[in-house]
Structure 1
Amino acid sequence: MARRKTGRDVHGWLVVDKPAGITSNAVVNKVRWAFGAKKAGHAGTLDPEATGVLAVALGEATKTVPYITDALKAYRFTVKLGEATNTDDAEGEVIATSDARPTDTEIAEALHAFTGEIMQVPPKFSAVKIDGERAYKLARDDEDFEIAARPLWVDSLEMVARPDADHVTLEMVCGKGGYVRAIARDLGEALGCLGHVIELRRTWSGPFDAEDGVSMDLVEELAKSPDLDDYLRPLEDGLDDLPELKATAEGATRLRHGNPGMVIASDVDYGDEAWASFEGKAVAVGTYRAGELHPSRVFNQ
């Protein structure tokens, strides 16, 4: 018999402005404890030393995580030029150096090759699986292995500051599965000067902005208190990129039981993915077909 989950039924999103020095999973565990929630998850890992938006889903909102994971995300990061590390960030060991330093113009021109649909090889110190093993575990054991390149959509990549000859600050907007560390590594190689990330911040992720994020200090201060619920954002925010359809009362009942339900017609085309609401609450996500939504996910909130 499966063990029954304990905790209260709380549904929605908490946007955390993650500090450096803590893993994404540790943030999720702390948030789940603070709310006393049965279930929690996050929409996109940040490296331990990275800061910024970590969107934590609670309860039924965990069913909307894929829509935030697939959404565009923005990063601001600083690259140290002249050094390559084995982790592609400042946590690793320096494995090569270069005296070359590119000009601002050379950097700006090189960035064009990293926009649009690109192929990216994830860092060896990453959670990518190689024959069932995490790459970072193999790397720690000095195993010899290769990671296959994978496609990444980079919407934009711009230089926003050049503090000195050894550093450049960039802003990137990209799709799912992007590794900022790999961008820094590959840009350094393309410029002939090497490079690695020394500072990284996710400024927004889908509909969630770092400026609206709560601190972990506040989460701990308000833990187990009703006041913490005031910072919870609705489950529906996770469906921001999908069109909304209004369900009829009968349609909502059918949808909640996993059956096709009647929705009020809109400009959604046949076969489009959409979500249905009733009395302001999300009922289901599914495919629109001739006046009905055929559910793929049902919400019980």
Structure 2
Amino acid sequence: MHEDQPAEPAPQATRPAREGRDGAPRQDGQRQDRPRGRGRPPGDRPKRREISGWVILDKGVGMTSTHAVAAVKRALNAKKAGHAGTLDPLASGILPIALGEATKTVPFVMDGRKAYVFSVTWGVETDTDDAEGRPVATSDDRPTQGEVEAMLPRFVGAIEQVPPRYSAIKIQGERAYDLARDGEVVELVARPVQIDRLAIVAHTPERTVIEAECGKGTYVRAIARDLGRALGCYGHVSALRRTRVGPFAEDQSCTIGALEAAEAEANAALLRPVETALDAVPHVPVSRDMAVRLMRGQPVILRGRDAPTEGKAYATCGGVLVAVGDVERGELVPHRVFHLGGTAPRNG
């Protein structure tokens, strides 16, 4: 289960023969005058809106990240949407969804720290490293809480981690999970990851619940797999919940059910500003003239003792986000410009 890779595609279902209104199989070329799309004539569909901001979704188990984005987009009648880090169908929790101009800030959220609560079931290792896979190794041994606790420090800090065979990592242009499904032996090399914290929440002989805080690219499934191997009892992830992604946490979240039950205008009140994703990036206010230059893709000279001298920064004019880019030798070089409310305000 990994938040920073594309979701694994669902298996393709065989498409049934189309039927006419009387239930008989429909012949090729036979016309049906049924309106498209959920019984609503095309002219009556709500027009998609230009809407920008972040929806912090609490995704339920069983839903793919792609389906979650589509549901949020539909609930708000938004034109454009995307998510900041895949959450597998087996997992629940925080899935930040960017609408409109917020999609330009997705990389900043994906680079942020993540927090999880996950359950490791002992005694079985699976080929997917989670409960959906088939067993590949078993053991009758079960670790004590003390044994698990003593092993956790080995997996904290800057470590090398081998991703699961069923992951979205590309091998010579193909996804690892596609190769694994085709029966090919997938050998993935270890990659550096940062794990800041692992702590036991609950323990029984069969299962241990663990909290984790980690950086981009970390696979929770691999943590469970490697813990089981190190303890000599094998293990796999049987439940996973993401509780934080970058600046976004559970107390800011809403569910699909709540969004679908409300009107689009009411849901818009749940949006968090685009610049929320830039929480860890220095902020510089700029004048209207500077804002115009930035929106044309031109650099501007930053003045003032509080202006950053190097690194990432974002600029606002009159409280409106204008651009994000790199500060180089005292100049802000824009890499992304934003169109939030048209022309930048006159008083900035």
TM score, norm. by length of structure 1: 0.94
Q: Is the 8 A contact 2:117 2:241 kept in 1?
A: yes
**1:99-178 → structure 2 map (5 Å cutoff):** 99-162=140-203, 164-178=204-218
Q: Following TM superposition, by how much is the alpha carbon of 1:289 offset from its aligned partner in structure 2, in angstroms? A: 4.3
Q: Distance in 2 between matches of 1:134 and 1:271?
A: 37
Larger radius of gyration: 2
Instruction: Give deviations 1:132-190, integer Å, cap 9, x for gaps.
Output: 1111111112111211211111111111211x101101111000011101100010001
Aligned to 1:251: 290
**SS in structure 1 of the partner of residue 276 of structure 2:** helix
Paired AA for residue 62 in structure 1? T
Instruction: Give deviations 1:230-256, integer Å, cap 9, x for gaps.
Output: 111100101001011001111111111
Q: How many residues align?
A: 294
Aligned to 2:251: 211
The Cα RMSD (Å) is 1.5
**SS in structure 1 of the partner of residue 269 of structure 2:** helix
Q: Name the structure with the higher strand share.
A: 1
Q: Following TM superposition, by how much is the alpha carbon of 1:7 offset from its aligned partner in structure 2, in angstroms? A: 3.2
Q: Following TM superposition, by how much is the alpha carbon of 1:8 offset from its aligned partner in structure 2, in angstroms? A: 2.2
Moved more, 19-28 or 142-151: 142-151
Q: Distance in 1 between matches of 2:327 and 2:137?
A: 55
Higher relative contact order (CA 8 A, sep 6+): 1
**1:45-84 → structure 2 map (5 Å cutoff):** 45-84=86-125
Name the % identity.
Answer: 49
Q: Is the 8 A contact 1:248 1:263 kept in 2?
A: no
Q: Is the 8 A contact 2:123 2:141 kept in 1?
A: yes
Q: 1:84 to 1:60 in 2, by over 3 A?
A: same
**SS in structure 2 of the partner of residue 147 of structure 1:** coil
TM score, norm. by length of structure 2: 0.81
Paired AA for residue 91 in structure 2? A
Moved more, 74-83 or 31-40: 31-40
Q: Is the 8 A contact 1:247 1:261 kept in 2?
A: no
**SS in structure 1 of the partner of residue 148 of structure 2:** helix
**SS in structure 2 of the partner of residue 241 of structure 1:** coil
Q: Distance in 2 between matches of 1:172 and 1:96?
A: 25
**1:234-273 → structure 2 map (5 Å cutoff):** 234-263=273-302, 265-273=304-312
**SS in structure 2 of the partner of residue 231 of structure 1:** coil
Aligned to 1:278: 317
Identify unmatched segments of 5+ residues in structure 1. 1-5
